[in-house]
Amino acid sequence: MKAFSELDARCLASEFRRGTLLPTDCIEQQARLCAKHNPTIRALITHDYPRARQQLQKSNPQGRLYGLTFSAKDSVDVAGFPVGDGGQFERIPNATAHARLVNRLFEEGAICVGKGNMSEYGKSFVTDNKILGPTLNPFDIRFSAGGSSGGDAAAVAANMATFALVSDMGGSVRIPANFCGLFGLLPTRGVFPGLGLSHSPNGLVGLLRSHGVIARSLDDIELLHACLKEYVGEDPFSIPESLFANDSAATRIGVIDSIGGIGCSPEIQSSLANFTNRAIQRGCKVQRIEPSCFQQCLEPFITLGIQAILLQEDFTARDNGCARDSSKETSGLQKTRQRLSSELPQLSAERLLRLWRYVDGLRLEAGNIFLDLDLIVSPVCAVLPPELSNPSLSLNGSPLAPELATRFSFAANVLGLTALAFPTAIAPNGLPVGLQVMGPRFTERRLFNTLRRLGYAARIPSPIK
């Protein structure tokens, strides 16, 4: 049988519409791979391929995504599937309605096959929780698939689904996509509608988080972006992207290879050098930059993105009658709570408001960068996927805290940038290597066109057929 995963989403949907390939065969193939590999990889918390075949009978055969399957992050509402946050205390056994983004996918003919595993409360760049345990990397199960959307990335990389609908507050789309050899898009907030999500993307969470997509190729990401962008009048954060979109490929590129003295592993540095050489050969002006606003993102992210939001979520859970019990959380989350308590001052209203204002200032500084540049390229994470048996990180032999390893990714969230992770190579140890491109708001199509022009549109072959 033909390997459906070898075809881009647009081509696959076209073949399904013409009847030259059958979506039922694709679902069967993915179901077999799930049955074989999911018990080990632990990508999907729950899956229902028979239900997907039933959904196919009602799907839109003229839709741009007809017959294509997707997984949705545990925190995304899909009617009939459980919804949660990777934790044990706030799970809804059966969501009663779809999030607006899920409705958009169904309207285009796509089919949901399951819900992806995620790190507990989305608070780690590796996926682990007390429900399903850690998600393993399909390229080498000794290593992490990344987080917090690691289950969805592993499901796509292992060909259990064609693409995934996920979210990103500090790299949760881009890090697992990067670790699993995939493309991952953090779009401009408001371009994808945020209505209908039980885990609301508004308020303090909305300052940093957007929902995004993970897919195998640049063409797939472009197609999903075209299908999911939508102006929704009743959504106070919705924005019509078409008013601002810029299609031109970049000719002025900034390269960030370190933040605050923290660089990246040799394999990632090599990919940066190759990207730079390609860009120069194609007529781009490239310069290494060290913007101060990128270096200043650490404190606001730790305080707002972890300390404040974790506290807000704890209050919300308690108010909803499902109080969290920290003694029953993963050891990783317990350590995070201990570090927040011992290393940061108690969160006060004054400190919270000062930092929120500080973020606005950093975003103004970031905007000025793009007066002279079209986009920025950087690592997604400072290191390759960590081993599950030895989760401590190191760079060039020196210990590295997780918040320092992920500074490249969460800077985009703090600074309000759009970002796209993409694969570049396979390292000598068999793990994927990748980078990310970042631009100001509403420049998603500039990122797409630049990567296509520079030859970074192709997929990395999956290790699982």
Structural domain includes residue 176: yes
Structure-token match 């401590």, residue found? 392
Contacts of 337 (CB under 8 A, 6+ apart): 310, 326, 329
> Could you list the pLDDT tens digit for every one of the 465 residues in the chain?
457 888 999 999 999 999 999 999 999 999 999 999 999 999 999 999 999 999 999 999 999 999 999 999 999 999 999 999 999 888 999 999 999 999 999 999 999 999 999 999 999 999 999 999 999 999 999 999 999 999 999 999 999 999 999 999 999 999 999 999 999 999 999 999 988 877 666 677 888 999 999 999 999 999 999 999 999 988 888 888 766 666 789 999 999 999 999 999 999 999 999 999 999 999 999 999 999 999 999 999 999 999 999 998 999 889 989 899 999 999 999 999 999 999 999 999 999 999 999 999 999 999 999 999 999 999 999 999 999 988 789 998 899 999 999 999 999 999 999 999 999 999 999 999 999 999 999 999 999 999 999 999 999 999 987
Structure-token match 């393993």, residue found? 136
Structural domain includes residue 350: no
Give me the domain span that covers residue 58: 4-294+359-453
Structural domain includes residue 330: no
Domain count for the chain: 1
Structure-token match 């933040």, residue found? 259
Structural domain includes residue 430: yes
Q: Is the pTM of this model over 0.85?
A: yes
Structural domain includes residue 158: yes
d(CA 190, CA 171): 18
Structural domain includes residue 301: no
Structural domain includes residue 25: yes
Task: Output the domain CATH number for residue 227.
Answer: 3.90.1300.10
d(CA 128, CA 136): 10
Structural domain includes residue 317: no
